Structure 1
Amino acid sequence: MLRVLFTLLTGLWLALGIAGASAQEIPPPGPARELVIGTKQAAPFAIKGTDGVWTGISIDLWQRIADKLGVKYRLVEERTVEALIDGTASGKYDAAVAALTITGPRAEILDFSQPFYRTGLGIAVSLTEGSRWTVILRSMLSLGFLQAVGALIGLALLVGFLIWVFERGRNEHFGGARGIGASIWWSAEAMTQASTGVHTPITLAGRSLAILWMAVSIIAIAVFTAGVTSALTTSALQGIVTNVNDLASIRVGAISDSSSVDYLKTQRIKYRGYASAEDGLKALKAGEIDAFVYDKPLLAWIVLQHYSSSIQVLDIVFDPQNYGIGLPLGSPLRKNIDVALLDNVHSDWWKQTLFSYLGER
């Protein structure tokens, strides 16, 4: 009995000793090693200076987070967003800090921090005079304009034919093989109020139709003129794009394999793909496309830096998006990063940072 009791006590003592030793071997919270942070140039969120120093909205925010967490890190640049995402998903990077939008497909392979910036897609259009005349020309060749012109011509042809039917047997000017042409010509003159009065209908039916046609044509021409003037004025002042729906009828550019393309595909909007925003904006300036779609803050930054005199970013935001910090699935850093991130984005420092880079108050 004593032997059994001694054996049990000995086993309990050894177990406690092993547990204590194991507890002492558990490392303290937080990584002791240097973190590897992936990034990609996307001004004004991630900007690499000529001296190799990184700045920008996302980079400055990460520096604040790292200081709060007391961790060391080094930045590694990737050339594409896909490489940045794949590298983070595979564990090559401890975090991805850039202009990284939070999407469903990306959330399947990455964890994301709380959003630190909410925005959406924007549209850039050309400011050149040539493009404005192009806008007016396209408005005049649009389906709606051609339908209106076709309707007026159709009415003139119909009235001319009816005048010929009523007058051909009693009016020599509208009779014979050439009478139908004269009837249509008279109808066109009456519609435009340019009739000379030399050849007019003489039958009761013909004159009744003529009076009705003159009254109707005055209203039709007035409505048509007002509509065309309004459309051309709006196009000249506002440009070819006034809302997102206009993208379906113009030449649109976007960065290939970007969230902008995902939106355009969803809306069944045809587009031309470009390798970078710079390439797309150069094509826009050259008149190869009519509009370029990209994340609005990034688009506004590039236009402000290089194309302020030839391109403008419209005051339109669509397809809302959130920017966050990407992390490998199950990353132990996520909670601490979220806490530090939320502390910063609700501070005066964050307001000053957004103002310094984007002019946002």
Structure 2
Amino acid sequence: MMNAIATRFRQIIAERKSPIGRYDRKNKTRRSLVLYTCMGLVGGILALLLIASPGLAQKPQLQQPLLVATRVIPPFVMSNKGELSGFSIDLWRSIANQIGVESKFIEYSSVPEILSAIKDNKANLGIAAISITAERQQNFDFSLPIFAGGLQIMVRNSETNDSAFPNILQLFFSTSLLQVIGVALVLIVVAAHIIWLSERHHKDGMIPQSYFPGIFKACWWAAATLATQADEMPKGVLGRLVGIVWMFIGVLFAAYFTASATTSLTVQQLQGDIRSIDDLPGKVVVTTAGSTAATYLREHKISVLEVSKTEQAYNALQTKKADAVVFDAPVLLFYAANEGKGKVQIVGSILREESYGIILPNNSSYRKPINQALLNLKENGTYQSLYDKWFDAEKA
């Protein structure tokens, strides 16, 4: 055993001293250097390719279909036997085709549910009539605007009202009628003082000489004459001249008052008592919970009846549980032109302009390709054709 070990040790020493052994070790070292150099070159080339093409490194993983959260809200999203259609659906399908991704729609009941699904990674993005707001942008990303809209008011059609009598109290307390009454009171006071000054020294005058109660009698005469119901005429020459002028003023005033009252009654019958945001305080106003309309109404100190779906808001208006609906203008216009035709009407102008967008998680890698696709669709005319399809004159 010891002899074998000694023999092997002498062989190793001999190999180290041999020129052939040294040559083999040098070859092995050279081969290792060449191998390491090749590996370094390949790694460097790959690194340069990644640096030169950052889009390759940032491109989203496309193996799984994108989960797109949405909600039924005509004409943006409509459902017919489980098949979705509408402006937002067609627009997203065009975008998905542009960026080359597959997608799957997941329906939710409201915008808050869509936001929650995106926040909890249950959906990759959301599209419907989702308003872009500063508050939402703190927690989410938005695409470029896909639609410009705003908030508007919808009320029942005046022809569907059961009451045949207009609101007389509201008529008398309207701003225009109060202005007319104010002007009439000023004219009565002025005319009363003129009559009192001209009649107080006439022996047969109708006005007592003293200021009180003479001025009260003069005011009564001026008011009665203005209403064309004068029962006594001044006795003095100046007083009679004033009386004649005052009677003509009374005729003109009676005509103007009648015209104003008739106009107010006609407008009230045609448009009802809600015509703008100023008429909403004290009314029952319905909208969907968590919407920008609900926030807007609360900001203006208007009590809000919040429901989960727009269909419930429409029903509350039709069953007179609410006096008005405040919601997105294109949605209300579509309903008024289709299901609600002849039953409801849109009043007033846009309360607040809003833009809709595609909502994504913060720092989403899909935001840039979606925006690029949107720009392409607007430039090649696809967006305009979709807009005309869903928002033409007959439907909006």
Q: TM-score, normalised by structure 1?
A: 0.78
The structural deviation recorded for 1:325 is 1.0
SS at 1:105 equivalent: helix
Contact 1:115-1:324 at 8 Å conserved across structures: yes
Give the drift of 1:217: 3.4
Q: Distance in 1 between matches of 2:187 and 2:38?
A: 106
Counterpart of 1:145 (choices 163, 177, 202) is 177
1:190 aligns with 2:190: no
Partner amino acid, structure 2, of 1:227: S
Following superposition, the deviation at residue 13 of structure 1 comes to 4.6
Q: Contact 1:248–1:269 at 8 Å: present in 2 too?
A: no
The one-letter code of the counterpart of 1:74 is K
Counterpart of 2:21 in structure 1 is none
User: Relative to structure 2, which stretch is displaced further, 74-83 or 28-37?
Assistant: 28-37
Supply the distance in 1 between the matched residues of 2:114 and 2:359 (Cα, whole angstroms): 9
State the alpha-carbon separation in 1 of the partners of residues 391 and 221 from structure 2: 63
Q: Indicate the larger mover: 269-278 or 156-165.
A: 156-165
> Which one-letter code corresponds to 2:126 in the other structure?
A
Q: Which amino acid in 2 is paired with 1:43?
A: P
Deviation string 1:168-203 (CA, Å, 9 cap, x unpaired) is 88559666999888655533331122334xx33335
Letter in 2 for 1:60: D
TM norm structure 2: 0.72
User: How many percent identity over aligned positions?
Assistant: 27
- Partner SS for 2:155: strand
* Residue 273 of structure 1, CA deviation: 2.6
| AA matched with 2:154 | A
Which amino acid is the alignment partner of residue 116 of structure 2? D
SS at 2:349's partner residue?
coil
In 1, the alpha carbon distance for the partners of 2:282 and 2:171 equals 11
1:43 correspondence with 2:78: no
1:123-272 matches, cutoff 5 A: 123-129=153-159, 130=161, 134=166, 138-149=170-181, 152=184, 156=188, 170-171=203-204, 185-196=220-231, 199-203=232-236, 207=240, 210-211=243-244, 213-241=246-274, 244=276, 246-247=278-279, 251=283, 252-266=285-299, 268=300, 270-272=302-304
| CA deviation string 1:130-168 (max 9, x = no partner) | 378546763333244245335535754775688678768
Change (3 A) 1:29 1:213: closer
Larger radius of gyration: 2
1:332 to partner: Cα distance: 1.0
**1:135, 1:236 within 8 Å by CA — same for their partners in 2?**
no
| RMSD after superposition | 4.1
Is the contact between residue 44 and residue 56 of structure 1 (CA under 8 Å) also seen in structure 2? yes
Moved more, 122-131 or 174-183: 174-183
Name the aligned partner's letter for residue 304 of structure 1.
A
Q: How many Å apart are 1:250 and its aligned residue?
A: 6.7
- Paired residue type of 2:67: V
Deviation string for 1:74-128 (max 9, x for gaps)?
2222222112113223433111121111111112211111222222222212213
> 1:316-331 to 2 correspondence within 5 Å?
316-331=349-364
Give the aligned residue type for 1:101: S
**What amino acid is the match of 1:65?**
I
Aligned positions, number: 355
Instruction: Note if 1:284 corresponds to 2:314.
Output: no
Rounded to whole Å, the distance in 1 between the matches of 2:343 and 2:195 is 55
Of residues 231-240 and 329-338 in structure 1, the stretch that sits farther from structure 2 once superposed is 231-240
Match of 1:91 in 2: 121
Which of 144, 158, 164 is equivalent to 1:114? 144
Residues 274-314 of structure 1, C-alpha deviation per residue, up to 9 Å, x if partnerless?
21333333343344554322111111222333321210224
Is 2:297–2:304's contact at 8 Å kept on the other side of the alignment? no
Which amino acid in structure 2 is aligned with residue 191 of structure 1? Answer: L
Match of 2:62 in 1: 31
Q: Does 1:76 align with 2:111?
A: no
Distance in 1, matches of 2:384 and 2:282, equals: 37
Change (3 A) 1:21 1:201: closer
| Structure with higher RCO (Cα < 8 A, 6+ apart) | 1
Q: How far off is 1:321 after superposition?
A: 1.7
The runs of 5 or more residues in structure 1 that have no matched partner are none
Shift of 1:36: 1.5
Contact 1:121/1:318 (8 A) holds in 2: yes
